[in-house]
Amino acid sequence: MVQFRGAYCTFDTNAIWGAMAEGKHRLFAWLLVQRKILTTSGGLVTEPTQGVEIEEWWNASMLGLPKELKRAKASIMIHTIWNVWKERNRRVFQGVATSPMRVLALIKDDLNYTSLALRREEFSLFS
């Protein structure tokens, strides 16, 4: 079974593609869950916790949620990982670090803009 690891996906792709996010955000999340995002060193993004695969984290987060709640949670997760990735790139390529509170504010802004653009109120709690 180990030889097939990464050869196929076991996560719910509908959660990513059905999320309320821009296409570039969904594509990024899809690539990240499959560990296909390259870093400047040429290596793949590593898991945040030893022994926890990103795909497992995604599956555990989506497990047992109804469709609408799954879409909302996927959107929040996608916007979060997108903004954390952008912050990582700012630090690596520009040598500039933003505070964690500012990154959180950027995540909330993205969610609010998406909500406004889609005329949805799922993220009104971030206003």
Model confidence over 88-119: pLDDT tens digits? 889 888 999 999 999 999 999 988 888 888 77
pLDDT value at residue 41: 54
pLDDT value at residue 96: 92
Alpha-carbon span 19 to 59, nearest angstrom = 15
pLDDT at 124 over 80: no
Alpha-carbon span 64 to 59, nearest angstrom = 10
Residue 44: strand pairing partners: 38
CA nearest neighbour of 35 among 58, 18, 1: 58
CA nearest neighbour of 11 among 32, 37, 40: 32
Average pLDDT over residues 14-42: 79
